[in-house]
Homo-oligomer: A and B are copies of this chain.
Amino acid sequence: MSISTSPHSHLLHPNHNHRIHTATTTTAFSLPSSRTFRPIKCASTPAQLQDPIPVQAQAQERVFNFAAGPATLPETVLRRAQSELYLWGESGMSVMEMSHRGKDFMFIIEKAEEHLRTLLEIPPGFSVLFLQGGATTQFAAVPLNLCTPDDPVDYVVTGSWSDKAFKEAQKYCKPSVIWSGKSGKYTGIPHVGTFEQNPDAKYLHICANETIHGVEYKDYPFPENPSGVLVADMSSNFCSKPVDVSRFGVIYAGAQKNVGPSGVTIVIVRDDLIGRAQGVTPVMLDYKIHVENGSLYNTPPCYGIYMCGLVFEELLEQGGLKEVEKKNEKKAEILYNAIDGSKGFYKCPVEKPVRSLMNVPFTLEKSELEGEFIKEAAKENMVQLKGHRSVGGMRASIYNAMPLAGIQKLVAFMEDFQARHD
């Protein structure tokens, strides 16, 4: 029996409060809650006729998904994508079937860029690229595009991701780690001015938010070398708050945390940095090629770009990144307060001033209970709370699309779990 026809299960839907909550901010997308389940019921019809998947599989509730990425997406965006999947607008086809050079997809990618430029207030003189390969591809593309094999560049290593970026750069230039949080188990971020940059460094590379360790820059260092630029991997806090793009030479981000599905990498590059790629640069890693071709040198990840466009539109509907940041601050505050107020039952190892608003790692004082915590949470429809295999413990990733209701439910569960095990 499908929950889509059961008033009781409707009340049990974990995101019920979320829809009420967001109804005030995403009016163009939100549904009267009494109608919310029709799409599931309808959409499941062909599945029940066509597919090997059992009926009850289509009748599942949505869970609160705390995964670090790919991560939860706005329900309104998923419903719209579902409604448009088979036929987009008047195109007579799915977005997945569109020629990337046809007018319909051109409209989609241009709108996506326009919305992103509005959200981040990207100034003139910066190009926006929709690429493939993830931030890991950019670990190579950045040095290949910005310097020669002999150029010194600086890396601040605040966690696993900035460390990977540094290691990849060793193939293409002379990178130095000018600050590392390794000895402190990556629980801090250096204060601006507390590390020494190479006077000739072509760029200073940082990871704006470390997904695994949960440290996030609250302000950004300036490159001290006048000819150097600031480069940031913003994969896990991209579009979670306003950013002064003009301070950066290159910003890059995988989409699969805050702005879309995996398979899309967004690069924002200052135009004067383009055109000096090393000879060994694969054509697909050359920013100049992509800028000159508007991200259409070859076939881009069209459907992923379409999804990002829907998310950008939804973020604008919310009132833009200032409003989004307020919500993210509120969500994070509630969760960190619950951890800090637990009298040590829960612990977050990260230094308070640099705690991430996106990824909240925490441990149990009684670490032997962590498995049970994760298991019980899953039974309550809160999934993917296990910490990264490299650090253990728990991690709650609470990106833009994680509703306040998800945080409230997690905190209530944490208090109940503590009461039962303290």
Contacts of A141 in B (CB 8 A): 282
Contacts of A193 in B (CB 8 A): none
Contact B262 A43 (CB under 8 A): no
Q: Whole-angstrom distance between the alpha carbons of A307 and B58 in the complex?
A: 18
Say yes or no: A60-B46 contact (C-beta < 8 A), given A301-B301, A303-B303.
no
A7 interface hit (Cβ, 8 Å): no
Contact A70 B99 (CB under 8 A): yes
A420 interface hit (Cβ, 8 Å): no
A396 interface hit (Cβ, 8 Å): no
Q: Whole-angstrom distance between the alpha carbons of A136 and B79 in the complex?
A: 34
Contact A46 B50 (CB under 8 A): no
Residue of B nearest to A257 (CB): B299
Say yes or no: A49-B35 contact (C-beta < 8 A), given A60-B92, A132-B301.
yes
Contact A99 B43 (CB under 8 A): no
The listed residue (B56, B83, B94, B303) touching A58 by CB distance below 8 A is B83
Contact A67 B98 (CB under 8 A): yes
Contacts of A133 in B (CB 8 A): 132-133, 137, 284
Copies in the complex: 2
Contact A284 B136 (CB under 8 A): yes
Say yes or no: A89-B134 contact (C-beta < 8 A), given A73-B97, A97-B65.
no
A390 interface hit (Cβ, 8 Å): no
Contact A92 B62 (CB under 8 A): yes
Q: With both chains docked as a complex, state the minimum distance between the C-beta of A49 and any C-beta of chain B, in angstroms.
A: 6
Residue of B nearest to A47 (CB): B83
A48-63 interface with B by 8 A CB criterion: 49-53, 56-58, 60-63
Contacts of A239 in B (CB 8 A): none
Q: Whole-angstrom distance between the alpha carbons of A41 and B39 in the complex?
A: 11
Contact size range, A:
35 or more
Contacts of A90 in B (CB 8 A): 56-57, 60
Contact B303 A47 (CB under 8 A): no
The listed residue (B45, B51, B80) touching A51 by CB distance below 8 A is B80
A171 interface hit (Cβ, 8 Å): yes
The listed residue (B57, B86, B261, B384) touching A303 by CB distance below 8 A is B261
Contacts of A81 in B (CB 8 A): 85
Say yes or no: A79-B284 contact (C-beta < 8 A), given A53-B89, A87-B40, A132-B132.
no
Contacts of A254 in B (CB 8 A): 299
Say yes or no: A62-B299 contact (C-beta < 8 A), given A83-B44, A83-B50.
no
A183 interface hit (Cβ, 8 Å): no
Say yes or no: A262-B301 contact (C-beta < 8 A), given A67-B98, A70-B98, A168-B283.
yes
Residue of B nearest to A134 (CB): B298
The 6 A-B residue pairs with the shortest CB-CB distance, nearest first, are: A42-B42, A263-B301, A63-B92, A47-B83, A140-B282, A39-B46
Extra pairs beyond A39-B45, A42-B45, A70-B99 (8, CB < 8 Å): A31-B46, A46-B80, A46-B82, A62-B87, A69-B299, A96-B307, A263-B301, A263-B302
